[in-house]
Copies of this chain bind each other. A is one copy, B any other.
Amino acid sequence: MSVLDTLRATVGDAHVREGTDAAPYLTDWRERYRGHALAVVSPASTDEVAAVVRTCATAGVPIVPQGGNTGLCGGATPDDSGRAVVLSLRRMNRIRAIDPYNDTMDVEAGCVLQSVQDAAREAGRLFPLSLGSEGSCTIGGNLATNAGGTQVLRYGTMRELALGLEVVTARGDIWHGLRGLRKDNTGYDLRDLFIGSEGTLGVITAATLRLYPLPVASCTALVALSSIDDAVALLSLARRGLGASLTGFELMAGDCLASVTRAFPAQRLPFEGNAATLPWYVLLELSDSESEAHARERFETVLGDAVANDSARDVVIASSFAQSRALWHLRESIPLAEKAAGKAVKHDISIPVSRMAEFVRDTNEALQHIFPGVRHVIFGHLGDGNLHYNVAPGAGWTDIALLARQEAIFDVVHAHIGRVGGSISAEHGIGQLRRDALAQFKDPIELALMHTIKHALDPHGTMNPGKVLIADS
């Protein structure tokens, strides 16, 4: 039997796609990458995944695991050789179990994030991972890329939210590692090795996720600031004054909010006069286990201190759920507003918070020196030291002219990241987009260790080849 015949016999004819049926799986969401594949195969169970992997391993056929196909680095798109099989996990979308007293749930890799959030809420619990693509991204992709989002400050990234994994290894064996344990010191941490490995070491088929109590109340505030230094000082003040109730701390450049109100005139900045045109804004979210009134009172105390010591220039505290939503809507509209304004060279970076102001100042300056007129689009999760630091076509630039310089812009930004001990990918991963940059950027010993592990766990190099690491020759 041919490989395709064996795969059809394993998952059923209807779940092996070729030709135009396969096309949507062969390009990424941003349409920056387009590949070819032998077929797109959609198994319905862990046993079927294992059988598919064994078939491919025996035949030396590369496997590209794919979830909701919402990745931003081309990690789930095959190369153009047409030799690979795309392994779609979307049919594995069962919530296997919820254990409210243990605050855990077992879910399959193909579950859409939002359906996991919903199932947790129905059980009276919170699954805190929250990000823009939650309506279509899957838990498997969230795990493969160690997804972050807007509540990392309090609950951590996907790594902190997964207690156990079920994984099909590169050989096609099944590791039954679903565990609902907060503490387990029995040998090497394989879970964290597979999380964030972007399908290059094996296929995550299910996970035990950590749940939290639903907050009783929440409240949102928007603060106008003169500088990033003031934003860093406000973060320190808010962490001290609000403790773990502080669940979000998002920085936005004034320019970004101006783009939003320009693109979407129904949205308005809730400030008047000088405070409406300041260079920086911070959105804070507070989750409270007492009441709405207590949440607002805590904000009034802490943000009142910030105004009194002059680190905050003006403050708006939402007085209703609708007002909270409107403030978040400003933040969430930035990517769309920027997309409307043209294509940008994007960076998803992380920087020690204490060096954030220095990094933005020096890197902006260097970019203006080499690429005069480019526009700086800066926003992100300051509470986690994570900025989306994008470079957009400004005066004298077209999209095409800017994208032609993408690699040169990457080089400047990455060099500045290196200088302040930062990371070139905070939450999006490496995929194809940052693979060559990673090889330049990483400590050589760390890179060598990564290659050693790749070679040990995937000796024939069939698991998502060409992603994260440059394939050994």
Contact = CB atoms under 8 A, between A and B. Distances in A.
Given A213-B240, A350-B182, A445-B174, A187 B384 contact: no
A453 interface: yes
Contacts of A146: 185, 189
Nearest to A290: B298
A193 interface: yes
A156 B148 contact: no
Contact of A101 (B145, B236, B430, B443): B236
Contact of A456 (B176, B195, B456): B456
A259 interface: no
A452 interface: yes
Given A287-B243, A443-B177, A428 B102 contact: no
A385 interface: yes
A5 to B, nearest CB: 28
A424 interface: yes
B102 A183 contact: no
B352 A183 contact: no
Among the interface residues A186, A385, A423, which one has the most CB atoms of the partner chain B within 10 A? A186
A464 B406 CA distance: 47
Contacts of A233: 101
A216 B103 CA distance: 28
A158 to B, nearest CB: 10
Given A193-B193, A427-B183, A430-B187, A176 B443 contact: yes
Interface string A319-358: 0000000000000000000000000000000111111000
Contacts of A385: 102, 180-183
A169 B449 contact: yes
A389 B10 CA distance: 46
A175 interface: yes
> Is the interface on chain A under 10, 10 to 19, 20 to 34, or 35 or more residues?
35 or more
Contact of A184 (B355, B381, B423, B447): B423
B424 A183 contact: no
Among the interface residues A153, A174, A425, A453, which one has the most CB atoms of the partner chain B within 10 A? A453
Interface in A438-457: 438, 441-443, 445-450, 452-457
Given A244-B154, A445-B174, A197 B188 contact: yes
A163 to B, nearest CB: 10
A353 B156 CA distance: 22
Contact of A452 (B104, B212, B456): B456
B289 A186 contact: no
A185 B196 contact: yes
A289 B240 contact: yes
Among the interface residues A100, A196, A449, A455, which one has the most CB atoms of the partner chain B within 10 A? A449
Contacts of A153: 182
Nearest to A236: B101
Contacts of A376: none
A245 B428 CA distance: 31
Interface string A241-274: 1111100000000000000000000000000000
Nearest to A353: B102
Contacts of A201: 188
A421 interface: yes
A292 interface: no
Contacts of A429: 185
Nearest to A177: B446
A425 to B, nearest CB: 5
Contacts of A288: 243
**When A and B form their complex, which 3 residue pairs have the shortest distance between CB atoms, in order from nearest?**
A244-B244, A456-B456, A243-B289
Given A153-B182, A175-B443, A189-B192, 18 more contacts: A99-B354, A146-B189, A160-B160, A175-B445, A176-B446, A181-B350, A182-B384, A182-B385, A184-B350, A184-B426, A185-B196, A185-B423, A186-B423, A187-B438, A188-B454, A190-B453, A213-B243, A290-B298
Interface of A: 99-104, 145-146, 148, 152-154, 156-157, 159-160, 169, 173-177, 179-190, 192-193, 195-197, 201, 212-216, 232-233, 236, 239-245, 287-290, 298, 350-355, 381, 384-386, 421-430, 434, 438, 441-443, 445-450, 452-457, 468-469
